[in-house]
Amino acid sequence: MDKKTKLLLGKGEMLPIMESFYTIQGEGYYRGTASYFIRTGGCDIGCHWCDVKESWDHKAHPIISVNEIVKMSKEFSEYVIVTGGEPLMWNMYPLTRELKKANKKIHIETSGAYPLTGDWDWICLSPKKAKKPMDEVYFHANELKIIIYNKHDFIFAEEQAKKVNSKAVLYLQPEWSKRDIVMPLMVDFVKQNPKWKISLQSHKYLKVP
């Protein structure tokens, strides 16, 4: 990587992009909504059940200018979802500024483990045990999504719910490979704790990206 690219990457004016695509948001509050996804490269959380491990190494993906990223999104939905990897590893202000100019509604899906940058319309916080969220992300989150892989994750969910702001919508989502095992447990838990809702990866059932 040359010095100029490295400098622009540090400023957030260029970003490592694994992929971008137009599809249906399958999870959480905006499920069923046509959305343009931007998946950044780079993540050091290391969830063993992650279904996009190829995103972890940011060096494996092309570094693209923010202007080009925004240009690719313009013909698609007003909703743009920035995900990863972990997008907050990078300065998100330049990207969100240009997306706002393009009249996009901008969402982020993040573990919250890095400082919150960018101007967002919706923040989906999905905390991970290996690297907990920063306080500012708890405060600004619109949605808390906890992945349920085993019974201990229900305890983790309640711990995280106490930290997030009172307006955040609370979701439990089954880890895909364990869905048949944990779904009955989730149903019982939500019936006993109705502040929670169940989120499903409906895009996988619909067989879309």
Along the 209 residues of the chain, how does pLDDT read in single tens digits? 778 888 888 889 999 999 999 999 999 999 999 999 999 999 988 887 787 888 888 888 999 999 999 999 999 989 999 998 899 999 999 999 999 999 999 999 999 999 999 999 999 999 999 899 999 999 999 999 999 999 999 999 999 999 999 999 999 999 988 989 999 999 999 999 999 999 998 888 777 77
Q: Are strands 169-174 and 143-148 parallel, antiparallel or unpaired?
A: parallel
Q: How confident is the model at residue 60, as a pLDDT?
A: 87
Task: Return the closest-CA partner of residue 1 out of 55, 62, 51, 45.
Answer: 62
Q: How confident is the model at residue 46, as a pLDDT?
A: 81
pTM of the model: 0.94
Q: How many residues does the chain have?
A: 209
Q: How confident is the model at residue 2, as a pLDDT?
A: 79
Q: How confident is the model at residue 98, as a pLDDT?
A: 97
| C-alpha span between 183 and 198 (Å, rounded) | 9
| C-alpha span between 9 and 172 (Å, rounded) | 34
User: What CATH code is carried by the domain that includes residue 195?
Assistant: 3.20.20.70
Domain count of the chain? 1
Q: How far is CA 204 from CA 24, 26, 131, 171, 209, in A?
A: 10, 8, 27, 18, 7
Domain that holds residue 27: 3-206
Task: Return the closest-CA partner of residue 120 out of 18, 33, 38, 203.
Answer: 38
Q: How confident is the model at residue 191, as a pLDDT?
A: 98
First-to-last alpha carbon distance for the chain, in angstroms, is 30
Q: How confident is the model at residue 128, as a pLDDT?
A: 93
Neighbours of 193 (CB within 10 A): 14
Sign of the torsion angle spanned by Cα atoms 43, 52, 65, 96: negative
As given in the structure block, the two tokens for residue 127 are 């905390």
